[in-house]
Structure 1
């Protein structure tokens, strides 16, 4: 039988699971281990290694092994292995290929289908790169789901009670916080937030830097300037960190390593947990802002959370658990294995999709708003963040100049008011728009997001039925760390962004009104009395004066005075005016389509 499995493709470790008889179990790898290190290596004789053999080579610092490539998924960047560039997608595919082989060995038959998890705050390009890695490994990827959502599936599969669950997922390379409602087999994601540049790896590096500074102070050796020595120290520090999760002190010794500390010199120290926590306190503090944002988005306070789940190996650190207990004012749920729960949930989702598990419905959300650039460089949201997926939405846009025959559509993801401050997903052009006066040609822009969080965008001229669409190119996306800053930047810049939007909208509406009035004054068919024409021209001159240097409030006030004067006109004259809401104007380009330079 062609089996379907769930895979947690982690930054530090990868785990696979399968559903059998309605229950999920972890699949051991070829070495009998439940966790496979997400490390890739190439040997001098052309062999490709994955897992523990590759991790052993990583410790040598020789440059033939790489780890933590998950952070680079969808970024367009490569890593060097033995002097040759390798894409994160290619390395992830190699890891998944090894997982597939191990699963087939364990299950005694072909495994061609999989559900693969990603951080909740992975953007479109990173999700698409993960799906492509799965395909390259030989899988039919049934679904890409968020890691916290998978954890909630594993937690709540057989529960009947209603509960609001918050998942703190701190893995090797990313941090996610998700809030879900669980009720009688119905799993609904209320809100997601996170930091794609924060994970257990950062605690390891910070600890290694601390030890390196101690070695330099005591032995006069600069480990930070020696890649091979730093790699070995990093491995030792990772082990000590794990010991400190079990006991308050641990012995750190570098005497067995091939590090030249000087004749007769050695470094040994009894490391206290408190020292480790002090050295990494600022990293722990970064967990709280995304948590507060998720609570705000869900419209909840800390008291509205029934259960807190800790997911990811890094949540084993006592300092993290203490922080969670203090912030949420409750003891976190610790009965789930934080290293395995995401893979279990992914297997549950695979079981749901293949019919092995009945009466369970999973509803996820999109983490960032989606839309296009509109007139004046504004961001026009079409699908707001935290919208339940799969979903689709449409909005009408108009031309921004007379006789405009084409429209450049710049697709964006983010939370800022100005297009240039958001993440560019790509651009495409719609041609064949009828040459009509400004604002009278109508174009419908459609966005859709499938269950994997993958975005497609299309546009159609409603008069000519000409159509165009975009296949989002993952290489146009920004680096993952920039996505994790989107909400923080939006919050910090909210007031300034709102003022800029109001100024641009007021100016654009004023321009539209002024053009309409000028067209009326110049139209012989309107037959305006001479004194009325002079009065209108005077009002227009005042509007243009305030438009050049006035505030949004002053512009709106002056335009209101002009509109009030227009109410004295005859019905025929008023009917000649045409004013289009600013939010329905899409920009036009003089050249081919392309993202606005950032």
Structure 2
């Protein structure tokens, strides 16, 4: 007997499986679906509440984790235990964010390497993937609560400028949250879909997507041909948004009231209160000419004209980015057919008018700018589900393709559901001094350890010139042609040594086997990612031990006896931790060894520099 699912909340018949669209944002995130009755995209919300979930995670007593509005309350009272803007950390090393480290009120670990950042809360270490997975898990629960049905499949959006590592990190976060991520879609593409741009296959259009959120600004120029979106250029500022508008109002009021910024810093409750009032003023001035309020007995007021003057430099900054994006795309403002407005801060009339004047045409702003990306993601999900027959879906890869890296980990080069034909390359290096060959093992599957995936091929790249570990640059490239044949190439860039192998089409798996591999990857996501984190921590620890040992051998004369003893103790503790099954313990011991070696490493570096200045080498 066939079972029919009915949504208790709406009484409507349900599709066999719902695929949700998720906008994983820096400031806010949300989830949307195509409504089964109206066939229109809607953002999910409960009764009168907002569709937005603040992208904030709070770590409380006894491991309790809260996400969203609840977590936001702790930003002032418990800043060290409350993580915001985790999206800024996705796929980044500490070096990438070091210039803006002061922006984060929580502890971002600096291990002096190119390894991906970690956040420390108490004695636990979290990757940006963990943090984003908590937000995605909350969105999944929220959707399931509203729809009264399990939600296991999603399309997630990312900025157009996200690189391969950042996209893979977003996929991993989805998997960890229990979601099968069918596609990662560029945010400007999703916003364009929400306006119906690109749904007409005959139309050829060039579009500017202007996205001004709470903390970030992006401008993307897209070309749509036959329903295929091509990103021509992107530009922006990852530290510019509505928060800066609020701060401009706060500074204006401080001048009015005579309170200094230092006084404000001492009083965190007042800081938060005045910031919330400033946000209220900004919103109020979109529809009114003046705003007045009272705070701690002080009268606060601002006119729309004053506000527009305050934010003029901020809007000008976005215009400079627009000019750069057009220049990079080799276009003029007259070449742009449509402008799509995204992000809550584009509600400010001064922003709309300035952008409209700059491009010389009205902007598209009829869709809620907070929801437009998520709505577009739901449309993309509907296309993937095969419900929207008007849009062509290109052939895609059924399972992820990648190679084996240190510790038996799977490094995905072409994620599942990627369009065919496809080409991607990534650089690797050697782990041992003088290593003259590298084994390239090609795997297919969704699990984090290659032992759980399917091996497709293997070959050796030989003849790598003897160099210190980390020096050779080996580029591994995957090319899938229109027939689904995969060609894997490995080339050592310094010497030009090259080797390649061809793997036949579709790799002989039935639909049932593919489905089983996907189900396994979701079922084991938590333990897989925990295993990956443990293997990565061990590899990082072993590399640190090797480099520390080499450094000490070379510079023993410049170290004190105490430093030698302390270092030996810390190395022993790390060596022991590596044998345990505790990732956080290994990270703690890595951090301890780094703390001991950093001061003398800097001192020896200074000696080397001053000797070099005198014309000597050390």
Check conservation: 2:489, 2:500, Cα contact below 8 A. no
Check conservation: 1:149, 1:178, Cα contact below 8 A. no
User: Given the alignment, which residue of 162, 166, 169 partners 2:211?
Assistant: 169
User: Given the alignment, which residue of 39, 57, 73 partners 2:90?
Assistant: 73
Unaligned runs of 5+ in 1: 256-265, 364-387, 396-402, 408-429, 437-442, 451-455, 476-598
Per the alignment, do residues 223 and 349 of structure 1 end up closer, same or farther by CA in structure 2, a change over 3 Å counting?
same
Q: Partner of 1:104 in structure 2?
A: 144
Q: How does 1:102-501 map to 2 (within 5 A)?
A: 102-155=142-195, 156=197, 158-159=199-200, 161-182=203-224, 185-215=227-257, 217=258, 222-255=263-296, 266-361=297-392, 391-392=422-423, 432-433=462-463, 445-447=475-477, 459-460=490-491, 465=499
User: Given the alignment, which residue of 27, 43, 50 partners 1:26?
Assistant: 43
- How far apart, CA to CA, are the structure 1 residues paired with 2:182 and 2:194? 18
Q: How does 1:583-598 map to 2 (within 5 A)?
A: none
Per the alignment, do residues 60 and 83 of structure 1 end up closer, same or farther by CA in structure 2, a change over 3 Å counting?
farther
What's the CA shift for 1:61? Answer: 5.8
1:259-293: CA deviation from partner (whole Å, max 9, x where unpaired): xxxxxxx3222112233333333322221233122
Per the normalisation by structure 1, the TM-score is 0.59
Check conservation: 1:40, 1:50, Cα contact below 8 A. yes
1:59-113: CA deviation from partner (whole Å, max 9, x where unpaired): 5566543322222222244456578654433222111111101111222221111
* SS of aligned partner of 1:96: helix
Per the alignment, do residues 193 and 57 of structure 1 end up closer, same or farther by CA in structure 2, a change over 3 Å counting?
same
* SS of aligned partner of 1:459: strand
Unaligned runs of 5+ in 2: 1-15, 93-115, 395-418, 427-433, 439-459, 467-472, 481-486, 502-531, 538-618
Check conservation: 1:10, 1:38, Cα contact below 8 A. yes
1:382-432: CA deviation from partner (whole Å, max 9, x where unpaired): xxxxxx99742689xxxxxxx99569xxxxxxxxxxxxxxxxxxxxxx962
What's the CA shift for 1:201? Answer: 2.6
* SS of aligned partner of 1:337: coil
- How far apart, CA to CA, are the structure 2 residues paired with 1:313 and 1:449? 40
Per the alignment, do residues 85 and 208 of structure 1 end up closer, same or farther by CA in structure 2, a change over 3 Å counting?
farther
Check conservation: 2:25, 2:87, Cα contact below 8 A. yes
- How far apart, CA to CA, are the structure 1 residues paired with 2:319 and 2:294? 34
Per the alignment, do residues 344 and 448 of structure 1 end up closer, same or farther by CA in structure 2, a change over 3 Å counting?
farther
Check conservation: 1:187, 1:361, Cα contact below 8 A. no
Per the alignment, do residues 464 and 93 of structure 1 end up closer, same or farther by CA in structure 2, a change over 3 Å counting?
closer
Q: Which has the higher contact order (CA 8 A, sep 6+)?
A: 1
What's the CA shift for 1:167? Answer: 0.8
Check conservation: 1:181, 1:190, Cα contact below 8 A. yes
What's the CA shift for 1:353? Answer: 1.8
- How far apart, CA to CA, are the structure 2 residues paired with 1:247 and 1:52? 27
What's the CA shift for 1:229? Answer: 3.1
- How far apart, CA to CA, are the structure 2 residues paired with 1:227 and 1:118? 33
* SS of aligned partner of 1:104: helix
1:499-534: CA deviation from partner (whole Å, max 9, x where unpaired): xxxxxxxxxxxxxxxxxxxxxxxxxxxxxxxxxxxx
* SS of aligned partner of 1:330: coil
Check conservation: 2:76, 2:268, Cα contact below 8 A. no
* SS of aligned partner of 2:331: coil
- How far apart, CA to CA, are the structure 2 residues paired with 1:272 and 1:247? 9
- How far apart, CA to CA, are the structure 1 residues paired with 2:498 and 2:227? 47
Per the alignment, do residues 225 and 301 of structure 1 end up closer, same or farther by CA in structure 2, a change over 3 Å counting?
same
1:420-457: CA deviation from partner (whole Å, max 9, x where unpaired): xxxxxxxxxx9621789xxxxxx99454599xxxxx99
Rg: which structure is higher?
1
Q: Once superposed, what is the RMSD of the aligned Cα atoms?
A: 4.1
**Residue correspondences, number:** 402
- How far apart, CA to CA, are the structure 2 residues paired with 1:59 and 1:435? 55
Per the alignment, do residues 181 and 434 of structure 1 end up closer, same or farther by CA in structure 2, a change over 3 Å counting?
closer
Per the normalisation by structure 2, the TM-score is 0.57
Per the alignment, do residues 60 and 239 of structure 1 end up closer, same or farther by CA in structure 2, a change over 3 Å counting?
farther
More off after superposition, 129-138 vs 223-232: 223-232
User: Given the alignment, which residue of 17, 26, 29 partners 1:2?
Assistant: 17
* SS of aligned partner of 2:152: strand
Per the alignment, do residues 394 and 218 of structure 1 end up closer, same or farther by CA in structure 2, a change over 3 Å counting?
closer
Check conservation: 2:34, 2:378, Cα contact below 8 A. yes
- How far apart, CA to CA, are the structure 1 residues paired with 2:308 and 2:465? 66
